[in-house]
Each structure stands twice: as structure tokens, then as C-alpha cells.
Structure 1
Amino acid sequence: MKTIRLSDADNVVTAVTPLEIGDDGAIQLIPRGHKMATRDIRSGEPVLKYAQLIGYAAEDIAKGAHVHTHNLAFRNVDMAYEFGTNLRPVAPAAKPDTFMGYRRATGRVGTRNYIALLTSVNCSATAARKIAEHFTPDRLAAYPNVDGVVAFVHGTGCAMGGDGTGFEFLQRVLWGYARNPNVGGVMMAGLGCEGMQIDWLLEAYGLQPGPLFQTMNIQDVGGLRKTVEKGIAQVEAMLPEVDKARREECPASELMVALQCGGSDAWSGITANPAVGYACDLLVAQGGTGVLAETPEVYGAEHLLTARSASRETGEKLIGLIKWWEDYTARAGGSMDNNPSPGNKKGGLTTILEKSLGAAAKGGTTPLMGVYKYAEPVTARGFCFMDSPGYDPASVTGQIASGCNLVCFTTGRGSAFGAKPSPSMKVASNSVLYEKQTEDMDVNAGRILTEGASVEEVGREIYEMWLRMASGEQSKSEAQGLGDYEFVPWQVGAVM
């Protein structure tokens, strides 16, 4: 098999191996993962893959020719949306699955038990880093139920102008991390004069300082050195309390998985993303939640999601996000087709429409139960969507703030992404990548192509790893210590 045709309606196929002239009718050299025309396509005619529009021929394209950025043009979508016309009832699982998690006082369940050092502003980032660095593995050895002390620092928090959107985003992110069930204790450090006042945050979200939630400002404490010393003392006092947490058997319905992709290639939408989608369906059948994000990366595929919306209101929320992004990119002088990245294109993806059709597959087939703002708490169970940019660290930061206690990350070009406090596993879309980055990839979805494995088989493998990871098994990125620098709140608006 040298090419794959995904639908009878398609006028392109994808090269499984590099095509020489004459291979499967190729009239040009075609790289692995790239598209070949299956018939003559006239200039201006739609080009279809997945039986969906991925762009328009920019010139006449001959049968057997390479179809890519040089002859495939993007246009903004103008969809006719349907709501709830493709609802597939969720059949409850035959047996309830469980994992060993940390049941919090709120009733929510964590998969990890961290102490989080949160900063209200960049000016307190160094203090938080120095406090976290103090708590080496040797110093934490006496607290075996504590996964670590992590500083979540960022480059904003002050000089935030505009309509307040960026300010609200940061507030929700900080609150969301403080309340994430994978966090057992919180210390929040500020400077004192910043725009993101800690007292305002506490008041806005009803947070109450206590033994497991401490706050301080550098200006009040009296400088960096004193702040670091006080912070270390506060964490030392927290550690015995946080260490009292014990894992107990919990239903799989308590899992909320961030569905994410980065460094995608042409195989992502054929192997890894559909397999994750099947895993998401298995989780939803258990009463759990999968959260898709990256709004620019469902652009052109959003009509498939609105058709699955549980209500018209839910579907219209998604369309509202799409319209906001069109306006947002236009105001910045950009285009929705600025995504795919150069790496995506080298891997065979040509337009954002093509990329989105593959990315949306991570959401499986169950009804869309809720659409949420960036870092807004996800309260519905089942398959949900959260607004975010396509930039992976910013997107995952929002998903964790929304309540996700696990992260599942697919990649075709390669990635070394990790996340804290919610552990991240990675799924390779092709076997070449898996063999090259075996130390980073947890699951090889490329087996669907190279070994004849089914999407369902690989999806089951992914789902079962979610349960093991939720019970404490480390993913490969987690074992390598990734996750300390991937906290990136989405910054929107002018810097004043």
C-alpha cells in the first residue's frame, strides 16, 4: 500500500511512502504524508479530503500531481451550520472502571498531589523559583505522598490594558490552578503594586487563606531574600498536611482529560487523533470528560461539532468563538491560515482546514455537551470544548485551569511536551517518529499503518494508560521531569 484514500468523495490520496514517478500513477516526486491528485482538478475547484473541503485549486492540477502549498489555496469558511443533527446516544459502559486517586474535600479527584507556587506578576517569579528550588528530592523524601513543589510563573500580571479580557484570563488561570484537584497546597506570591492584586483575586473567587493556602507580597515582607525565606517556611509547614493525602479507589467518571495536539503531520488525523477520539468515547461512556481546545485548529471543522451539539445554545457558543477568532486575526493583520506551522506543512498539512479536520477527531463521536471560555471551569460531563489559541503551552494551561487532571497530547513531527500539575502522555502518529523519539512517546498510533492495528485497539491502549497514569504511573515526559516551564497563560490585549 503506497497511498491511502480516506473517502470515495476525495479527489486526493495521501502517500504512505515517498512516491517516485509512476508509483500509483504519480507524475511527480511526492513526499511521504503529502497529497496526490486522483483526477484532473480545475483551477478554483474544491479539493476534498475526509470527504470535506480543505481548500481550492490555485491552478489546474493534473491527475497524479503533488497537491500542496504551491497549488492549493485557502479561503475563509462560510458554513451552513446544523445543530444536533448528528447526535449519537452514549451507551453506558458494561462495567465501571476505577483508578486510585486523591479525593479532595471539594469532592473532586486528583491524579497527583503537588504544592503549587503561583505568582500574580512576573516581578515575583524569581522568588517563586528560588522557593521551589529549595525543595530538592532529598528534602521531599520524607513526604512520599507529595509529588513536588512547583513554581508556576509567567511574564505578565501588570501593565494590562484593553478591554479586560487578558486580565480575566489570568484571573481564571490562577484561580483554576489553585483549585485544580491535582494541587494539595498553594502559596501565592506577588510584588504588591501590580495590576493583578492578590486580594482582588481572593475576593473575586471566594478563596480563603488557610494552612493549605498562603499568600504574601514582596513589598510587604521586605524584599526578595525575606520573601524566599518566608515562602520556604510556609511550604515546610504545608508539607506534613499535604502528605496526609492518600490514594483511594475512584470511578473513571472523575477523570477530565485535556485533548491536545502539537507538531501535527498528515498522519495525525488518520491514526493518533481518531485513536484518542475512541479513547474519549470510552471515557465518556464511563461518565468522564474529554476537553478539546485550540479554536483555530477546529476552524473549518466546527460544522461537524455543531452537528453534535447537545443543544442549539451550545453549538452557537462554538460559532461565536469562531467569529471572534476571525475578527481577532483580521485586526492583527493575520489570517486563520497562518496556522499550519512550517513543520505541519513539511509533514503534509497544507491548510488550516485540512489540519482542523484531523485535529477535531480527538473529540470522538459523542455529543458536544458544553462550550467554555478560556480557563473557565468545565462543569458538564462528557465531550466539551474550551476556547484557546493553537499554541500548545497556552492551550494546555487553560485546560488545566478548567479542571483537567490528565493531558493527552498527539504529535506527528515530534514533541517533548510535559505538564504539571496534570501529567501528560504523548501519542505518536507514525512509527518513524515513535522509533526516533521512543523516550518521549508513550503510545505508537503508527501501528495502525505499519502493523494493521485498528483505531479501536490503539484507542483502548490509550484509555487504559489514562487509568494507569491517573493511579500514579508516570508518563515518559513526567519521568523526564518536564512540566515546570509549560505554564503559559494566554495574554490578550495591549501591554500598557
Structure 2
Amino acid sequence: MLDENFSSQLVRLDNFDNVAVARTVIPAKAVLHSLEGEVVALNAIPAGHKVAIQAIAQGETVVKYGQIIGQATCDIAAGEHVHSHNLAMIDVHADYAPSSAVPPAPEPIEGRTFEGYVRTNGKVGTRNYLAVISTVNCSASVARFIAERFPQEELAKYPNVDGIIAMKHGAGCGMQFGGEAHQTLNRLMAGMAQHPNVGGFLLVGLGCETGAMGYLLQQHNLVQIDGVGGADRPGPLVLSMQDMGGTMQTIEAGIAQIRTMLPQVNDIQRQTVSASHLCVGLECGGSDGNSGVTANPALGIASDRIVACGGTAILSETSEVYGAEHLLTRRAVTPEIADKLIERIEWWKKYVAMFGVELDNNPSPGNKAGGLTTIAEKSLGAVAKAGSTALVDVYHYAEPVEAKGLVLMDTPGYDPASVTGMVAGGANVICFTTGRGSCFGCKPTPSIKIATNTPMYDRMISDMDINAGTVLEGESITEAGERIFEEILAVASGKKTKSEQQGIGDEEFVPWLVGPTL
């Protein structure tokens, strides 16, 4: 356990590790204490970075979290800084052992609730927005103008409405009709229209785009589907710029449509519901060497609590699961679920190879400055967000998430695109861990930002909701996880996150579309 491997300077995450993580900046020549005995720091070690606690010969594996994170590219002495200059990724050919270590179901947690918006289709929202959805980039500005130009003093008369948001993007045309990108975009927009945090929606298109509105409505049955265009949610209302006569006419018609929709959107009120209605997306961005030490495992505790309540936790960023996928395949409830994850990993290998890219290129300069060296190291820390329960399903990007329990959605590691997919899949809360200091929001879903270290939390207090850096100061992982779980319930009940307080989240709707632009 982490708590048993503290010293005043180092955190050793597993007894098999031959490196430890610096809790604070360690000056050169400092005497370090570990389970291996005393070693002298041969270099200055930045906070969150790795130091060898025993000699590692060139070609030997470097172990952190009890797992291989790479190979020494030269001899590394005990007490030496371990990073990109002496550590490289290797293909370890992990044994997937599908479903060989499926954990038992957690002890159920009864009686936990939050105050949510119950929709007629049984889904529960944590917010109540009115959405203006652009079907194509050609109508993106008009969608934004409709949302921005609606009089704020008039909107203030509807206290149960959190706001009017424009979901705009840079796609919707230049793609094969019915192809993968087209279907993904339509699935994503349908997910947003049907999202439990959206109380009403308006579709705005140019009129001739590939992602034609009629196709969207027909394929996803947005006209008849329960909870959309039903008793509690007005829609679909469709505006075609070409049919309306152009930009200004469409803006005026859109504002008029919203004016008629608002009273119905405002009619719904929060009510007490079971925490089993939580669907929480798990994201990490701007990660550092402490992400896998503090915030991510603490969020893993909270994820376990959500599952124990009967809710859903969505792990994401497949390109940041690579190198740690064997830990999840062993927890898959069936070999078939494990195979779905393996298939996605293999797809990613082939996909990036088409562009001459390797998955190990994933750690960003900021990640590396924060102490992360290889994708295996980053991924092993990232999957800690998934806690310890069984993996019950694997979803494609923006697919509707129906399963209860821990699931994985195939998304890229780029935060806005990843979160957009999870929200479209139904996530009604996002938990976002960060070590470098990501400033993020994603309307219509609130984003709870969790800091991995206290110096960054203090420096960026206006953006951070929770400080998990307290784990480095003696708080247990379990205690930090319980704090995160309680914050999830509070935010689901209406407590505004820091990003919501600052109005962040209108620009982070970023669809991930794979395929050629025609």
C-alpha cells in the first residue's frame, strides 16, 4: 500500500519497484531513505520525477507500480535521476490473460442520493441546459449567435434553466455519406440531443451538408424517442439556413424558437434520486509524475464507490491505456469483453502506424516535464482512475453507455475530444485529474478538476475543485477518494464547479472523427 511506502522524500509504489517518486524537489547529494536502505541523490530530482533506489544495468527493465515501464538505455546508478535520458519504452508483450482475475462485486452501498432532473425516458440529469446543435461547420456561427444573442435578462426569468449552449464543430461535410465518420458524428449529435443534462434542443444546419438533418432525425429516431420531443423536453426543432433565407433570418427564427421552448424546459425541477443514476466520465490531462500516486488512485476509490452504488464509471483515452491494458483484460467479466479491448488496442497500433506515429509518442512535453517518461508509465498511472472493480463492457466512441459498472469508451487522449465522446455517451458528471494544471469544462456536463499536488492546487485555486496532493502530506488514498465521491454527489445536486463559475465549457465540444476529408 502507498501509505506504507512513504519516507520524507520518496514514495515507492510497490515493493518490486527499482525506482521511487520524489515527493518534493530533492537537491543533489541529499541522503535518501528507502526500503533498500540509504542512497545519495547523484542529481537534483524534480518533484514527481523518478530516482533509482538500486543500480539498474543497461538493458534491464525499470519497474514502477510493480510493472515494467521501460528499459534502461545505459547503466543507472542508485540515487540517479531516471527519465528520458536513460529510460526508453519497450514492447513487453504483456500476457492479457483474459478474465483471469475478475474481482468480486463490491459490497453494495445503499441510500446514497443526489438531487437530479428525472427525464421521461428514465435518465437523470445533473444540469438542465437548452442546446443549439450545429449539424455542420457551415452553421456553427449561426448556432453560436442564437445562443449568445438571446437576451440574458429574459433568460434570468427561468431559474431552472442552467443556460443556452451552442454545440458547434468543424465537421459535418466533406465525408462519405453513411461512412464511419458520418455515422460517428450523427451518433454524437444524437447523444447530445438526448443527453439527460439537455432539457430541450434546436438543430441548425446549412441544408446541403453530408450530415443532413433529415438523416440524423431518421437514423436516431429523434422525433419519436422517449424524452426527446416528449412531455418534458421540447424538440426537435429544425432550422435550415438555406430554407430560412440565410444567416440573419435563421438567427431571428432560432431566438424566437428558444423563447417558446424555455417555459417547458424550466418546468422540470430537481428531485431526490438514487446515486445509481450517476454516470461519471474519468479523464486525466496535463498529467505529471504524481498523477498515478495521488489523484488517479483516489479517483479510483471514488469510481469503486459509484459502482457500489449501482452507477457507471467510464474509463477513456485508449491511447493512454496502451501499456496497461493487460490489467484491464484480466478484470474483464468475460473473455469476449477482454477481446473488445484488445481489438481496440490493435486498431490503435495500426491507425497510428498509417501516419508514421508510435503510441509511445503520447506523453506530451508537459507530461515529461512533470516526470512521466514512457506511455507505459503514463498508462499505468492513468488506469488507476478505474479503481478495482470488474470491467463490464467496452464501447466505441460516443456510443450510448447502458451498462452499470466500470466500462471503457474508446476515445483519443486529446482531452476535449475524449470528454465529448463520454458526454455524448451519457456521462452526467466528469472527473478530470491534472498535475500540470488543465483548465477545462465541457457543457452540458460539469467537470470536477482534481489536482495531483498542493503547489499547483494553490497556484491555480480558481480552477481546481479538489486537492489530492494531500496524499503526499499524509492523507490516505481512501480518505481522498471519499472526498472526491462526496464532491461528485454535491456537484450532481447542483453545486457549481470552478469551471462553471468561470463560464468555461462552450468551446470544448470537439468531435473525434476518423477518416479522410473529401
TM range (shorter): over 0.9
Map of 2:179 onto structure 1: 164
Output aligned runs, 1:139-288, within 5 Å. 139-161=154-176, 164-208=179-223, 210=229, 211-288=234-311
Match of 1:108 in 2: 123
Instruction: Write out per-residue CA displacement over residues 191-247 of structure 1, whole angstroms, 9 at most, x where no aligned residue.
Output: 011111111111111111854321111111110000001111111110011010111
State the Cα distance separating 1:84 from its structure 2 match: 2.0
Q: Rate the CA distance shift 1:163–1:192 in 2: closer, same or farther, 3 A.
A: closer
Shift of 1:253: 0.2
Residue 84 of structure 1 corresponds to 99
- Structure 2: which amino acid aligns with 1:183? V
Match of 1:455 among 477, 485, 489: 477
Of 4-13 and 89-98, deviating more is 89-98
1:17 aligns with 2:32: no
> Using the alignment, how far apart are the partners of 1:164 and 1:97 within structure 2?
43
Conservation of the 8 A alpha-carbon contact between 2:448 and 2:465: yes
> Aligned residue for 2:147?
132
Q: CA deviation at 1:136?
A: 4.3
Alignment pair present for 1:50 and 2:65: yes
- Secondary structure of 2:98 counterpart: coil
Runs of 4+ in 1 over 6 A off after TM superposition: none
Change (3 A) 1:215 1:163: closer
Q: 1:163 to 1:318 in 2, by over 3 A?
A: farther
Q: CA deviation at 1:16?
A: 1.4
Report the counterpart of residue 72 of structure 1 in structure 2: 87
Residue range with higher mean Cα deviation, 59-68 or 232-241? 59-68
Output one character per residue of 1:68-116: Cα deviation in whole Å (capped at 9) or x when no partner: 1111111235221112222222234353211111110101101110011
1:455-491 Cα distance to aligned partner (Å, 9 max, x none): 1111111111111111111011111111000000002
Q: Is the 8 A contact 1:121 1:156 kept in 2?
A: yes
Amino acid at match of 1:437: M
Q: Does the Cα contact within 8 Å between 2:457 and 2:464 map onto a contact in 1?
A: yes
1:122 aligns with 2:137: yes
Structure-2 residue corresponding to 1:470: 492
Which one of 6, 14, 36 corresponds to residue 13 of structure 2? Answer: 6
Instruction: Find the residue that maps to 2:239 and give its secondary structure.
Output: strand
Quick one: structure 1 residues 68 and 136, their matched pair in 2 at CA, closer, same or farther if it must change by over 3 Å? farther
RMSD: 1.3
Partner AA of 1:480 in structure 2: Q
Counterparts of 2:101 and 2:149, CA distance in 1: 54
One-letter amino acid matched to 1:373? H
CA apart distance, 1:27? 1.2
Letter in 2 for 1:16: R
Is the contact made by 1:162 and 1:494 (CA closer than 8 Å) also made in structure 2? no
Q: Does structure 1 retain, via aligned residues, the 8 Å contact 2:283–2:430?
A: yes
1:324-379: per-residue Cα shift (whole Å, max 9, x none)? Answer: 00011111110101110000000000001000000000010000011000000111
Is the contact made by 2:104 and 2:389 (CA closer than 8 Å) also made in structure 1?
Answer: yes
Distance in 2 (alpha carbons) for counterparts of 1:473 and 1:83:
40
Q: Provide the C-alpha distance between the structure 2 equivalents of 1:194 and 1:40, rounded to a whole number of angstroms.
A: 62
The aligned runs of 1:281-320 (5 Å cut-off) are 281-320=304-343
Give the Å deviation of 1:38: 1.6
Residue 29 of structure 1 aligns with an amino acid whose one-letter code is: A
- Unpaired runs of at least 5, structure 1: none
Letter in 1 for 2:483: E
Superposition pairs for residues 247-396 of structure 1, below 5 Å?
247-396=270-419
Name the amino acid aligned to 1:415.
S
Residue identity opposite 1:476 in structure 2:
K
Counterparts of 1:166 and 1:420 in 2: how far apart (Å)? 23
Is the Cα contact below 8 Å between 2:177 and 2:210 reproduced in 1? no
Does the aligned pair in 1 maintain the 2:433–2:450 contact within 8 Å?
yes
SS in 2 for 1:270: coil
Identity %: 52
Distance across 2 between alignment mates of 1:298 and 1:250: 33
**In 2, distance between residues paired with 1:454 and 1:236?**
51
Give the secondary-structure state (helix, strand or coil) at the position aligned to 1:260.
strand
Q: Deviations over 1:27-72 (max 9, x none)?
A: 1222111111122212211110001010111112122211111111
Normalising by structure 1, what TM-score?
A: 0.98
1:243 aligned counterpart, secondary structure: helix
Q: In 1, distance between residues paired with 2:177 and 2:97? A: 35
What amino acid is aligned across from residue 247 of structure 1 in structure 2?
A: R
Shift of residue 494, structure 1, vs aligned partner: 1.3
**Matches of 1:77 and 1:172 in 2, distance apart?**
36
Q: Which runs of 5+ in 2 are unaligned?
A: 1-7, 33-39
How many equivalent residue pairs?
Answer: 495
CA shift digits 1:161-190 (9 cap, x unpaired): 599222222111101101110001010111
In 2, the alpha carbon distance for the partners of 1:94 and 1:127 equals 47
Which residue in 2 is equivalent to 1:481? 503
Q: How far apart, in 2, do the equivalents of 1:395 and 1:187 lie?
A: 24
Q: Per the alignment, in what secondary structure is the counterpart of residue 290 of structure 1?
A: strand
